[in-house]
Structure 1
Amino acid sequence: MLELKNVSTQYGQIPILMNVSINLEAGEAVCLLGANGAGKTTLLKTILGMVKPVSGEVVFNGQVISKLPPHQIIKSGIAIVPEREGLFPKLSLENNLLMGAYYEEDKAKIQERVKEVFKIFPWIEKRIHQKAGTLSGGERKMLGVARALLANPQVMLMDEPSLGLAPATVNEVFTVIQNIKKEKNIALLIIEQNAQKALSVVERGYVLQKGSIIVQGTSEELYNDDFVQKSYLCVD
């Protein structure tokens, strides 16, 4: 469904991604592990058309999207839950939520999607008129996920869903991810530093280091990989 083929990017003359190839099948959950500065966010920006490859291409549903502007890529069926959520703090939860359906003109479809989101996040329905700026960090993260779901995406990109959250809240967020996997036929690409949590909800994964994929495999293979254990799972 989504594939990066030998993608290289750079900022000015500084290389960021080097011949990166990854793929994501329909309904599959895949994680991308990597430390700060590895190039994970640049990879997401490349998928979304915010950064253009200097070589290689991004393919979505058989179409090369590397040269398309971001709004066309998002409209084609790719949604993102950004690292900082990107919410509008002075607007209500309802108005923030509806931003996810910006490209949908059928009001009946929008209302149906809202009802589906309320099944996953009943607390949003109860607090729908509350301002987004009053939410906790975990609640903001979940509202960001709910907004992405309202776009009815085929692929959801999640940038550091556990970042800055307390352990109990991290558990809640990953429980939501598991529920989405069960109830929605959405392919998930999860960018994460918390390897333990990420590998618990995905089928496969990749490790990005200094702009290159250095390890890839099933979640079980990554759990048992010496480099992953020492670098991300704190196993001696």
Structure 2
Amino acid sequence: MSAILEINGVTAGYGAAPVLQDVSISVPTGTICAVLGANGAGKTTLLRTLSGLLKPTAGQVVFDGQDLREVKVEHLIRLGLAHVPEGRGVVTELTVDENLRLGGLWRKDRADARRALDEVYQLFEPLQRRRSSAGHQLSGGERQMLALGRALVARPKVLLLDEPSLGLAPRVTAQIMALLRQLRDDTGLTVLLVEQNVRSALSVADEGVVMSLGRVVVSTSAEQLRGDDELRHAYLGF
């Protein structure tokens, strides 16, 4: 299976101190790749680097055959790379419908943008019921759905998803994970999933990457991670 996202020897950080050190990850097309590790492992920094919010000091990121060092941040979504950051990033003053439409403002195919909006409402029935509600009126689970939905309106090829279960009830977390599996199976969406809830992440992931202190220490199938007690105890705490 070919890789849609290749991270080759990337070093990046804040100021003079690197957080990521020589990180290499290959994400196959149409898979869910879970990036796991303790707080401070560099997981969020990895996503910020991939989405252009941080510039690597060494290494290369290739997305769908294109070197992202040559691409402006605002053009990444046009190429098909969408980032849902930790904290959900909903514009609380806007309604659900207005937030979702933001995800497709740049699209020239207005008819397909409308279809994408309708599809998001079908995926997330709570948003359909609350489409006129302001972002600040939503529950935590609804805000996560809204952030995901806004990214999906852009029809990305790869979704970078940072801690989607943070602060959510287990039932809502299970719904979000089931949706990611559905999107992978039905649309071929590729997901790079950063998640503290290791069990939930591995329940839907195809591939697993474990990071520690800014380095990749394990890269293998999710099935092997689930079955390797010694590795899980050493790096994942269960």
Q: Please report the TM-score for the alignment, with normalisation by the length of structure 1.
A: 0.95
Deviations 1:73-123 (A, max 9, x none): 222110112111111111110000111112202221111111211221122
Correspondence for 2:28: 25
Q: Secondary structure at the match of 1:49?
A: coil
Partner of 2:236: 232
2:147 matches 1:144: yes
Q: Distance in 2 between matches of 1:92 and 1:10?
A: 35
- Deviation (angstroms), 1:233: 5.3
Paired position in structure 1 for 2:176: 173
Instruction: Extract unaligned runs of 5+ from structure 1.
Output: none
The answer to whether the Cα contact below 8 Å between 2:10 and 2:61 also exists between their aligned partners in 1 is yes
Indicate the residue corresponding to 2:103 in structure 1: 100
Of 103, 115, 120, which residue of structure 1 is paired with 2:123?
A: 120
Partner of 1:76: 79
State the one-letter code of the partner of 1:222: L
Task: Give the SS at the match of 2:9.
Answer: strand
CA distance in 2, matches of 1:231, 1:4: 22
- Matched residues in 1 for 2:211 and 2:69: separation? 20
**What is the letter of the counterpart of residue 117 of structure 1?**
V
Amino acid at match of 2:232: V
Partner secondary structure for residue 101 of structure 1: coil
1-side partners of 2:76 and 2:206: how far apart? 25
Alignment partner, residue 49 of structure 1:
52
Query: Unpaired runs of 5+ in structure 2?
Result: none
**CA–CA separation in structure 2 for the residues paired with 1:165 and 1:78:** 25
3-state SS of 2:69 partner: coil
- Give the aligned length: 234
Deviation at 1:204, TM superposition (A): 0.6
Q: Which residue of 1 aligns with 2:188?
A: 185
- Consecutive aligned runs of 4 or more in structure 1 exceeding 3 Å deviation: none
Q: Is the 8 A contact 2:96 2:132 kept in 1?
A: yes
Cα distance, 1:67 vs structure 2: 4.2
Report the alpha carbon displacement of residue 164 of structure 1 after superposing the two structures with TM.
Answer: 1.2
User: Which of 201, 204, 211 matches 2:204?
Assistant: 201
The whole-number CA distance in structure 2 between the counterparts of 1:79 and 1:65 is 13
Identity %: 38
Structure 1 residue 126 displacement after superposition: 2.2
Alpha-carbon distance in structure 2 between the residues aligned to 1:173 and 1:133 = 20
Alignment TM-score, normalising by the size of structure 2: 0.94
What amino acid maps onto 1:190 in structure 2? L
Residue type matched to 1:227 in 2? L
2-structure distance, mates of 1:17, 1:89: 32
Aligned equivalent of 2:38, options 35, 38, 58: 35
Shift of 1:68: 2.5
Q: How does 1:2-21 map to 2 (within 5 A)?
A: 2-21=5-24
